[in-house]
Amino acid sequence: MVTTFLMARLRRLARDRDGSAALEFAYAFPIIVLAVVGLLELSMIMFVSAMMEGGLRDASRFAITGNVPVDANGVPTTTREQIILDVVNDRTLGLLNLTLSDIHMRVYDSFGQVGQPEPLIVDLNGNGRFDLGDSYTDINGNGQWDEDMAAVGTAGASGDVVAYDLVVDWPLLTPLLAPFIGQNGLIKLGASVAVRNEPY
């Protein structure tokens, strides 16, 4: 009698579909939340990257002119480097709070020199790399061989080629995706552009 009753209850329970939608939703909900958060995170990363690229491009357009605002006495009121920083900060809509140390400016004579090492005059062991004792042409005038021949830190002079690099650590909006992308809750975003200054 008890077994028949139990079997009847179990059959009724097996046919019962009440709550199945809630159970399926409970299984799917974490996946949906992860997908939505991931989409928002990725969208924000792409948006900030695009803003950085656009801001750096606009700043370099200003910088190639060599124009610096002056007061009534003809004294510069700021530097080109500060204006470049201000333009990028403005174009990123306050999402980034950049300083001059975040924007790297490298000056070259031609586009072909961008990212190239200082040329070796004599490569004693013939390995194609600089070793102690090799002679080289000190293009940037800093008294040592460099893997990048650029002079650094300024927006260059008339006719110079200037490569601008901007690299920032963007904090992820949520720690949810931190194990999958970035490092310590940060992801590196970058933008770069190379331009030739106008004659001025």
Q: What is the mean pLDDT of residues 17-27?
A: 79
pLDDT score of 176: 73
Q: Residue 103: which of 44, 62, 42, 46 has the closest Cα?
A: 62
Q: What is the pLDDT of residues 52-102, one digit of tens each?
A: 999 999 999 999 999 888 888 889 899 999 999 999 999 999 899 999 999
CA distance 198 to 200: 6
Q: What is the pLDDT of residues 128-178, one digit of tens each?
A: 788 888 888 888 888 888 999 998 888 999 999 999 999 999 988 887 777
CB 191 within 8 A of CB 53: yes
Where do the structural domains in the chain lie, given as residue ranges? 22-67+79-115+150-196
Give the other-Cβ count within 10 Å of 93's Cβ. 11
Give the other-Cβ count within 10 Å of 156's Cβ. 22
Residue 114, classed as helix, strand or coil, is coil
